[in-house]
Amino acid sequence: MAAYKKDQGRMVRMAVFWTVAVLLFYGCSSLRQTLSAYFDGLKAPLFEALPKLPVLGVMLTGALVISLVAFAVALYFAHRWLEKPKYADLLIETESELRKVTWPTGQEVFNSSLVVVVCVVLLMAFLAGADWFLARLVNPVLF
């Protein structure tokens, strides 16, 4: 199957694919732990002669095989999904729009962050003072 508009939107497509891959990996590793916890038959190694995989150092269990198959199938379908013209065109347009953005310099980011931090601290001080003042005003009336 040929890739749809292969050279366009390559960076965004890669970013989306690897983000989905990381999320799928997390889900499949959670699936492996859940299968091992609930099904005792999936905890035991499949081959007694090979208790652990040589490089990875994990036991080859039924839960691991099921989660690896689920991961591979999900990655395949994620790749196919990203190659559909509707989604590929969206990602291509997203990358072209991101290339038009004027990104701030490091100094501009620092200055903007400093303004936000100072405003938050001033607002926090004002709210704490108002809370203290209102508590002093209302406490004698209530108690």
Sign of CA dihedral 31, 33, 38, 43: positive
Whole-model pTM above 0.85?
no
Band (127; pLDDT cuts 50, 70, 90): very high
The answer on 121 and 94 residing in a single domain is: no
Q: Does one domain contain both 37 and 89?
A: yes
pLDDT in tens, 133-142: 999 999 888 8
**Domain range for residue 87?**
1-101
CA proximity to 23, closest of 101, 75, 77: 75
Q: Higher-confidence residue: 68 or 1? A: 68
Q: What percent of the chain has pLDDT over 70?
A: 99
CB atoms within 10 A of CB 25: 14
Task: Tell whether 17 and 87 lie within a shared domain.
Answer: yes
Number of domains in the chain: 2
3-state helix, strand, coil in the chain (%, to 5): 75, 0, 25
Same-domain pairing of 39 and 59: yes
